[in-house]
Amino acid sequence: MLKKRVFKVYSCIRILMVCIILHSEAKTVVAGSNSCEVTRSTVQVVNGCPDSEKSWREAAVRKKCDVHAKQCSEPERLVYHCVINPNINQMLEVCAYAQNIVGGKCTSYSSSGNVIQENWSTDCSEFKENDCPLFYRSNVAYKYQGCYQLIKKSTAGTNNSVSSRNPDNVVVFTTTSANISSNMSTNKHVNM
């Protein structure tokens, strides 16, 4: 009897893993239709993300995604996001197509796929406050503040890169631990 139960559990786990793999494969195949090229030019590293619907709307107005949307094949889909990067060491503001986020994961922006997606290195379904549901839309990521707290926890006590703008509209990245500076034009793509 115990062997039958164990077998059923392993069978369920295998089916779940296959579903996850198929979901990932499907997202890879349709990534082109789930993104707009202008998204790459809207990525900006920020020190914090909105923590309420009101502040999210205010940030969206400031980001002006509607201006960029005219360059997309589906302009109505381009909306404001504030998410973490795949390495969980930066918060990013970006205009991108909203996506379904599944599996109780944090929302992330992938520069290689130019798409909003789940960050499979996170598990926000177990946060003490406002845990992530198994399914939510990426454009309500502000509801899951624990995802942004992961950045603060992972960077606490370390010397990290800081970005700032100077009058020439150039982003200056400074690494304090190595005392190295480099200028990078804001018109160039930065891999996150």
Does a structural domain hold residue 5?
no
pTM of the full predicted structure?
0.65
Give the max Cα distance, the chain. Answer: 73
Nearest Cα residue to 119 out of 24, 55, 16: 24
Does a structural domain hold residue 176?
no
> Which pLDDT score is estimated for 12?
58
Does a structural domain hold residue 61?
yes
At residue 43 the predicted structure's pLDDT band, cuts being 50, 70 and 90, is very high
Q: Calculate mean pLDDT across residues 60-73.
A: 96
Within 13 Å of residue 180, how many CA atoms lie on the same side as its CB?
7
Does a structural domain hold residue 9?
no
For residue 176, CA distances in Å to 58, 158, 162, 166 come to 32, 10, 8, 18
| Tokens describing residue 32 | 């082109």
Does a structural domain hold residue 76?
yes
Does a structural domain hold residue 41?
yes
| Tokens describing residue 127 | 């946060």
At residue 33 the predicted structure's pLDDT band, cuts being 50, 70 and 90, is confident
> Which pLDDT score is estimated for 17?
58
Domain that holds residue 49: 24-155
Does a structural domain hold residue 151?
yes
Q: Are 69 and 128 in contact (CB under 8 A)?
A: no
- Average pLDDT of the chain to the nearest whole number: 77
> Which pLDDT score is estimated for 130?
87
Task: Count up the domains in the chain and report the number.
Answer: 1
Does a structural domain hold residue 31?
yes
> Which pLDDT score is estimated for 166?
35
DSSP string, 31-58: GGGG--TTHHHH-EEES----SHHHHHH
